[in-house]
């Protein structure tokens, strides 16, 4: 097992060289030992109950089986919640009161990757700051007596006692009922939408939640397929948006929606096929929440900020910046009792969803909002954002030393207002930028925003020159 698969807030590596069944067994066991330790430190030693799910990747079922063996070998009960979206894990643990849980997933990474995302009680995140590296150290030091076969879907011959510790549970109906609390479905117009789950599990969930609404769904890349036949299942990659954009225009749909493979991120497109940055959707949803919750707190990341801050200020709310990443955003939301949080990566977090992110809630909120409007989505976005805020979109560059690049930027733009919550952000009256290293890939990410398109493009190219020099 490669220690480098433990990232800032999850586990990810290439299967089977960096992560395999033996690693899954060790990690699951180490995770439970961590939970046991936490329970003992709090004066509780009752038997734990852990939820385990997985995504559609070809290696996920086998890795999940190995993980379940690791858990039951510790005489701990497992709730097997099957093939799920990551946000269904959060629902299961918090809604049913389990001690914790994890899902076997590598999110939007290419098909050769796999990994896991972990939570503890109440679906509180486990990050590098709150125990993930402790789990890493336990797993690395654990000696496995027998080797587990690679690539074979099996129950790993659980004995009779271990088998009694595994309960299979279908949580879909309860999960859908929770999503429906975020919108009044009786108000929905009979829209036509294009939906692209990118071969993940979002399609099954979408079909269930739209039953009886009369909404027409044009389906692309809809059936789960862990081969990801059209490449990396990530709508943030511009090339991956072309198909849905063209389909929206061809079908004369009202708008489009897409998800990454584990379906915890949600991406929107206008009726013209225009991609809407997660930055603007965060501001858009913040406005809706603040109308219902005057004076509430909104959490955002630091990559792009002006549109969110302006919307929140105008609505009388409070906007607070946080380091990007689901674990960090959730921790800050709990600390501030924030009603909503968002990232430009299209993760959206909700106080009433256990302070966790969800990929379907933004869609039902969008459907309710648009049902009360006469304007098209493109007209609304243009009026609210696109005529005022000009952004580069996130630009990724492979570099040998992200810290050195960030230091160069700090020196060159030292006369601006500098913030180092996440990487480095530098702000001037008419433009700003953020540079940060990825937590999962050897790249540096650039975002630029400005008061005019020409200035944004000028500063974008200037910074790209600095990064690539």
Pairing of strands 49-54, 77-83: parallel
Residue 1, pLDDT above cutoff 50 = yes
Q: How far is CA 275 from the centre of its chain?
A: 18
pLDDT band at 419 (very low <50, low <70, confident <90, very high): very high
Token representation of residue 20 = 């395999």
List CB contacts of 278: < 8 A, sequence separation 6 or more.
265, 267, 342, 343, 344, 345, 346, 347, 348
Answer yes or no: are the C-beta atoms of 349 and 86 closer than 8 Å: no
Tokens read off for 87: 């946000």
Residue 177 predicted with pLDDT over 50: yes
Q: Which top CATH class is 174-275? A: alpha beta
- 467 CB neighbour count, 10 Å cutoff: 18
> How far, in Å, CA of 75 to CA of 166, rounded?
10
Report pLDDT for 263.
98
Residue 143 burial (CB count, 10 A): 5
Q: Which residues pair with 78 in a beta bridge?
A: 50, 166
**Which pLDDT score, from 0 to 100, does residue 45 have?**
43
219 forms beta bridges with 195
With tokens 């946000």, the residue in question is 87
Provide the percentage of residues in the chain whose pLDDT is more than 70: 98
Question: Among 38-47, 155-164, 321-330, where is mean pLDDT lowest?
Answer: 38-47
Residue-level pLDDT at 43: 45
Determine the Cα–Cα distance for residues 262 and 260; give it in Å rounded to an integer.
6
Q: According to the model, what pLDDT value does residue 42 have?
A: 52
Instruction: Determine the Cα–Cα distance for residues 5 and 12; give it in Å rounded to an integer.
Output: 5
Which residues, including other chains, have CB under 8 Å from residue 261's CB and lie 6 or more apart?
A: 55, 56, 57, 105, 107, 108, 198, 199, 200, 228, 233, 234
- Domain 3-170 and domain 174-275, same fold? Reply is yes
Q: Does position 440 have pLDDT exceeding 70, yes or no? A: no
Calculate mean pLDDT across residues 435-454. Answer: 90
Helical pair 86-96 and 172-179, crossing angle rounded to 10 deg:
90
pLDDT band with cut points at 50, 70 and 90 for residue 235: very high
Active-site option among 60, 62, 107, 123: 107
Which residues face 53 on adjacent strands?
82, 103
Q: What does the mean pLDDT of the chain come to?
A: 95
Q: Considering the domain 3-170, what is its CATH architecture?
A: 3-Layer(aba) Sandwich (3.40)
The reported pLDDT for the residue numbered 453 is 98
Strands (E), 138-265: 166-168, 192-196, 216-219, 255-259
347 pLDDT more than 50: yes
Look at residue 325 in the predicted model and tell me its pLDDT: 87
For the chain, the structural domain boundaries read 3-170, 174-275, 390-468
pTM: 0.95
Residue 120 has pLDDT above 60, yes or no: yes
pLDDT higher than 60, residue 337? yes
Average pLDDT over residues 334-339: 97
- Which among 166, 149, 127, 138 has a CA at the least distance from the CA of 22? 149
Q: Alpha-carbon distance 103 to 237, whole Å?
A: 24
What percentage of the chain reaches a pLDDT higher than 90? 88
- First vs last C-alpha separation in the chain: 36
CA dist 446 and 398 (Å) reads 11
The answer to whether 107 is a known catalytic residue is yes
Strands 216-219 and 192-196: parallel
Let me know if 160 is exposed, middle or buried by CB neighbors in 10 A (0-12, 13-18, 19+): exposed
Contacts of 101 (CB under 8 A, 6+ apart): 50, 51, 52, 53, 79, 81, 89, 92, 93, 118, 119, 123
Q: What are the pLDDT digits (tens) for 288-323?
A: 999 999 999 999 999 999 999 999 999 999 999 999
- CA dihedral in degrees (383, 385, 386, 389; nearest 10)? 140
Kindly tell me if the per-residue pLDDT of 46 is higher than 60.
Answer: no
Contact 391, 448 (CB under 8 A): yes
Listed in sequence order, the residues at least 6 apart from 239 whose beta carbon sits closer than 8 Å to its beta carbon are: none
Q: How many CB atoms are closer than 10 A to CB 39?
A: 18
Tell me the mean pLDDT in the region 236-256.
97
Span 5-43, pLDDT tens digits: 999 889 999 999 999 999 999 999 999 999 998 876 554
Interatomic CA distance for residues 249 and 251, integer angstroms: 6
- Residue bearing tokens 């999850």: 10
- Of 130, 107, 131, nearest to 117 (Cα)? 107
- The CATH-assigned architecture of domain 390-468 is 2-Layer Sandwich (3.30)
**What is the rounded CA–CA span in Å between residue 249 and residue 252?**
5
């Amino acid at each position: 097992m490669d220690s480098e698969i433990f990232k800032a807030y999850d586990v990810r590596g290439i299967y089977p060289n960096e992560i395999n069944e033996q690693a899954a067994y060790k990690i699951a066991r180490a995770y439970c030992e961590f939970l046991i330790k936490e329970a003992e430190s709090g004066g509780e030693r009752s038997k734990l109950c852990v939820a385990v799910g997985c995504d559609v990747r070809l290696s996920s079922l086998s890795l999940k089986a190995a993980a379940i063996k690791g858990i039951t070998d510790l005489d701990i009960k497992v709730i097997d919640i099957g093939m799920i979206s990551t946000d269904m894990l959060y629902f299961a643990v918090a809604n049913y009161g389990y001690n914790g849980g994890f899902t076997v997933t590598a999110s939007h990474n290419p098909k050769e990757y796999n990994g896991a995302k972990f939570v503890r009680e109440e679906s509180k995140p486990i990050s590098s700051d709150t125990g993930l590296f402790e789990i890493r150290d336990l797993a690395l030091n654990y000696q496995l007596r027998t080797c587990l076969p690679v690539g074979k879907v099996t129950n790993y011959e659980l004995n009779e006692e271990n088998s009694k510790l595994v309960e299979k549970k279908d949580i879909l109906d309860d999960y859908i009922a929770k999503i429906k609390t975020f919108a009044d479905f009786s108000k929905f117009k009979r829209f036509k939408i294009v939906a692209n789950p990118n071969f993940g599990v979002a399609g099954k969930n979408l079909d269930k939640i739209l039953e009886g609404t009369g909404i027409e769904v044009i389906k692309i890349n809809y059936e789960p397929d862990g081969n990801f036949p059209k490449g990396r299942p990530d709508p943030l990659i511009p090339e991956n948006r072309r198909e849905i954009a063209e389909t929206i225009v061809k079908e004369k749909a009202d708008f489009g929606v897409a998800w990454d493979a584990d379906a915890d991120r949600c991406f929107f497109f206008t009726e013209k096929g225009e991609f809407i940055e997660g930055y603007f959707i965060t501001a858009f949803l913040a406005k809706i929440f603040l109308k219902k919750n005057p004076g509430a707190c909104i959490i955002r990341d630091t990559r792009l900020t002006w549109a969110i801050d302006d919307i929140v200020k105008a609505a009388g709310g409070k906007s607070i910046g946080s380091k990007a990443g689901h674990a960090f955003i959730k921790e800050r939301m709990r600390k501030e009792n924030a009603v909503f949080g968002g990232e430009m990566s299209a993760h959206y977090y909700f106080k009433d969803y256990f302070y966790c992110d969800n990929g379907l809630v933004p869609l039902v909120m969008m459907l309710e909002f648009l049902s009360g409007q006469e304007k098209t989505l493109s007209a609304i976005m243009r009026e609210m954002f696109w005529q005022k805020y000009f952004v580069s979109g996130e630009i990724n560059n492979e570099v040998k030393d992200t810290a050195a690049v960030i230091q160069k930027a700090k020196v060159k733009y030292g006369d601006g207002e500098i913030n180092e919550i996440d990487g480095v952000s530098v702000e001037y009256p008419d433009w700003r930028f953020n540079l940060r290293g990825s937590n999962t890939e050897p790249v540096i990410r650039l975002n630029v925003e400005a008061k005019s398109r020409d200035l944004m493009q000028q500063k974008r190219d200037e910074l790209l020159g600095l990064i690539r020099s």
